[in-house]
Structure 1
Amino acid sequence: MPHTAALPPTFKQVMAATDRSLIGMWLCSGSPMVTEIAAGSGLDWLMIDGEHAPLSLETVQRQLQIAAAYRVTPVVRVPTNDKVLIKQYLDLGAQNLIVPMVNSAADAEAAVSALRYPPQGVRGVGAALSRGARWNRVDNYLHRANDELVSLLVQIETAEAVANAAEIAAVDGVDGMFIGPNDLAASMGLIGQPSHPDVKQQMQQVIDVARAHNMPVGITEFNLNAAQEYVDAGLNFVLAGADVALLARSTEALATRFIAGGDTRPERASY
Structure 2
Amino acid sequence: MKMRNYLREKINEKGYVIGAFVASCNPTNVEILAMNGMDFAILDMEHSPLGLETMVDMIRAGETYGMVSIPRVYTMETKLMRRILDVGAHGIMVPMVGNGSDAKYIMDAVKFPPLGLRGMNAGRGPRWGAYENYLSEANDALFTICQCETVEGLENIDKIAGTPGVDCVFIGTGDLSLDMGHPNDLKHPDVVEAIDKIRRTCEDAGVIPGIVTSTPEDAARRIKEGFKIVTIMNDLGMFKKQSLLQIEKVHELCDE
The TM-score bracket by the shorter chain reads over 0.9
Q: Which residue of 2 aligns with 1:136?
A: 129
1:170 corresponds, among 162, 175, 186, to 162
Q: Which residue of 2 aligns with 1:104?
A: 99
Question: Size of the alignment, in residue pairs?
Answer: 255
For the residues of structure 2 that align with 1:164 and 1:6, how far apart are their CA atoms?
36
The Cα shift of 1:19 comes to 4.5
Q: Which residue of 1 aligns with 2:8?
A: 12
For the residues of structure 1 that align with 2:233 and 2:76, how far apart are their CA atoms?
24
For the residues of structure 2 that align with 1:232 and 1:208, how far apart are their CA atoms?
14
For the residues of structure 1 that align with 2:42 and 2:162, how far apart are their CA atoms?
25
For the residues of structure 1 that align with 2:75 and 2:196, how far apart are their CA atoms?
25
Question: Residues 120 and 225 of structure 1: is their aligned pair in 2 closer, same or farther, counting only changes over 3 Å?
Answer: closer
For the residues of structure 2 that align with 1:212 and 1:144, how far apart are their CA atoms?
26
After superposition, give the CA deviation of every residue in 1:46-89 in whole Å (9 maximum; x if it has no partner).
11111112100111111001111112222221222211111000
For the residues of structure 2 that align with 1:159 and 1:18, how far apart are their CA atoms?
34
For the residues of structure 2 that align with 1:68 and 1:77, how far apart are their CA atoms?
17
Q: Which residue of 1 aligns with 2:195?
A: 203
For the residues of structure 2 that align with 1:48 and 1:184, how far apart are their CA atoms?
21
Letter matched to residue 110 of structure 2: L
Question: Residues 232 and 118 of structure 1: is their aligned pair in 2 closer, same or farther, counting only changes over 3 Å?
Answer: closer
**Alpha carbon RMSD of aligned pairs, Å?**
1.8
For the residues of structure 1 that align with 2:254 and 2:43, how far apart are their CA atoms?
35
For the residues of structure 2 that align with 1:36 and 1:14, how far apart are their CA atoms?
18
2:54 corresponds, among 38, 51, 59, to 59
Gaps of 5+ in 2: none
Higher helix fraction: Structure 1 or Structure 2? 2
The Cα shift of 1:196 comes to 2.9
For the pair 1:76 / 2:97, whether they are aligned, the reply is no
Secondary structure of 2:5's partner? coil
Letter matched to residue 155 of structure 1: Q
Question: Residues 201 and 56 of structure 1: is their aligned pair in 2 closer, same or farther, counting only changes over 3 Å?
Answer: same
More deviation in 195-204 or 100-109? 195-204
For the pair 1:227 / 2:219, whether they are aligned, the reply is yes
Secondary structure of 2:153's partner? helix
2:112 corresponds, among 108, 117, 139, to 117
Question: Residues 227 and 117 of structure 1: is their aligned pair in 2 closer, same or farther, counting only changes over 3 Å?
Answer: same
After superposition, give the CA deviation of every residue in 1:132-184 in whole Å (9 maximum; x if it has no partner).
000111112122222x2212111010111011111111111111110000010
Secondary structure of 1:135's partner? helix
Question: Residues 208 and 22 of structure 1: is their aligned pair in 2 closer, same or farther, counting only changes over 3 Å?
Answer: same
Letter matched to residue 205 of structure 2: H
Gaps of 5+ in 1: 264-271
Is the CA contact 1:46–1:74 (under 8 Å) kept in the aligned structure 2?
Answer: yes
TM-score by length of 1: 0.88
For the residues of structure 2 that align with 1:184 and 1:90, how far apart are their CA atoms?
27
TM-score by length of 2: 0.93
Is the CA contact 2:5–2:143 (under 8 Å) kept in the aligned structure 1?
Answer: no
Question: Residues 63 and 93 of structure 1: is their aligned pair in 2 closer, same or farther, counting only changes over 3 Å?
Answer: same
For the pair 1:190 / 2:182, whether they are aligned, the reply is yes
Q: Which residue of 2 aligns with 1:267?
A: none
The Cα shift of 1:8 comes to 4.4
Letter matched to residue 150 of structure 2: T
After superposition, give the CA deviation of every residue in 1:107-132 in whole Å (9 maximum; x if it has no partner).
00011111112343221221x2x100
For the residues of structure 2 that align with 1:13 and 1:83, how far apart are their CA atoms?
27
State the percentage of identical aligned residues: 30
Q: Which residue of 2 aligns with 1:33?
A: 28
The Cα shift of 1:210 comes to 0.8
Structure with larger Rg? 1
For the residues of structure 2 that align with 1:108 and 1:238, how far apart are their CA atoms?
21
Is the CA contact 1:50–1:79 (under 8 Å) kept in the aligned structure 2?
Answer: yes
Question: Residues 157 and 223 of structure 1: is their aligned pair in 2 closer, same or farther, counting only changes over 3 Å?
Answer: same
